[in-house]
């Protein structure tokens, strides 16, 4: 950092630039925004960051981020405990919940198998999922991993691992996005849309 930059500001820029997707210029803009913000706003931001580290934990059942254990979803009597949707990250739970269509339970893996990045099955919450299947009355497991190489590898691994135990294993359908044009879709997307077609 330039010598003309005050040390506290330089430190803030340095810390902000460590965030994913925040480059040096964005970190500078954010730091100067915080500097110009009211003292109350800056304190509220600092308190929110501290709270994330002190007041949150992982649910011991589904491993989603929660304030309590079990989380609100796992503790709810209104959810269908026979259906578990397996996702890679806590943000995936939010994406599915926003639809308002799913009333089952979740299991968050906290990543996907990726030998290139050194992520093995035991690095994820896969052993806990297997334990959960053994002791519960789960009838269907929806594998909602991302539609990429790592997500597909993770789904295949889990599917093979639990095959033959009587649990129905399904995968999210894939295809064309709403509002998209067929002519701009890639071949894999069109192929999967054709494979996943259904009657009207």
Residue 83: which CATH number? 3.40.1360.10
Q: Are residues 14 and 98 in the same domain?
A: no
SS3 state at 88: coil
**How confident is residue 200, by pLDDT bands cut at 50, 70 and 90?**
low
Which residues 6+ apart lie within 8 Å of 49 measured at CB?
A: none
What integer pLDDT is reported at residue 112 of this predicted model? Answer: 97
101 shares its domain with 159: yes
Report in angstroms the alpha-carbon separations of 107 from 48, 87, 129, 157, 198: 26, 6, 7, 15, 27
Same domain, 45 and 84: no
Same domain? 110 vs 155: yes
Residue 59, in any domain of the structure: no
Q: How many domains does the chain have?
A: 2
β-pairing, 140-143 vs 105-108, is unpaired
Task: Identify whether residues 39 and 88 lie together within a single domain.
Answer: no
* Mean pLDDT (whole number) for 107-116: 96
Same domain, residue pair 138 and 98: yes
Task: Write out the two tokens for 113.
Answer: 């198998």
Residue 186's pLDDT is 80
Domain extent, residue 37, equals: 7-54
Q: Do 89 and 41 belong together in one domain?
A: no
Looking at the structure, tell me whether residues 97 and 138 fall in a common domain.
yes
The CA-CA-CA angle for residues 141, 146, 150, to 5°, reads 100
The CATH number of whichever domain residue 16 belongs to comes to: 1.10.8.420
Same domain, 83 and 166: yes
Q: Do 92 and 16 lie in a common domain?
A: no
Mean of the pLDDT values across residues 134-144? 91
Predicted confidence (pLDDT) at residue 2 exceeds the cutoff of 90: no
161-to-97, 117, 179 alpha-carbon distances in Å:
27, 22, 37
Separation CA 42–CA 33 (nearest Å): 10
Q: Examine the domain organization and report whether 126 and 175 are in the same domain.
A: yes
Q: What average pLDDT does this structure show over 82-104?
A: 95
Q: How confident is the model at residue 1 (pLDDT cuts 50, 70, 90)?
A: low
């Amino acid at each position: 950092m330039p010598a003309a930059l005050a040390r506290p500001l330089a430190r803030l820029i340095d810390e902000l630039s460590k965030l994913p997707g925040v480059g040096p210029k964005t970190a500078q803009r954010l730091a100067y925004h915080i500097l110009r913000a009211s003292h109350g706003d800056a304190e509220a931001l600092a308190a929110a960051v501290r709270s994330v580290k002190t007041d949150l934990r992982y649910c011991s059942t589904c491993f989603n981020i929660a304030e309590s254990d079990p989380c609100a979803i796992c503790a709810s009597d209104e959810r269908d405990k026979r259906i578990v949707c397996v996702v890679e990250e806590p943000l995936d739970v939010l994406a599915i919940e926003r639809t308002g269509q799913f009333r089952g339970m979740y299991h968050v893996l906290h990543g996907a198998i990726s030998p290139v990045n050194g992520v093995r099955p035991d690095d994820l919450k896969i052993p806990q999922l297997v334990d959960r299947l053994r002791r519960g009355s789960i009838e269907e497991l929806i594998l909602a991993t991302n539609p990429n190489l790592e997500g597909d590898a993770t789904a295949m691994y889990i599917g093979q691992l639990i095959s033959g135990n009587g649990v129905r294993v399904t995968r999210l359908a894939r295809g064309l996005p709403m509002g998209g044009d067929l002519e701009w879709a890639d071949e894999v997307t069109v192929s999967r849309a054709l494979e996943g077609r259904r009657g009207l």
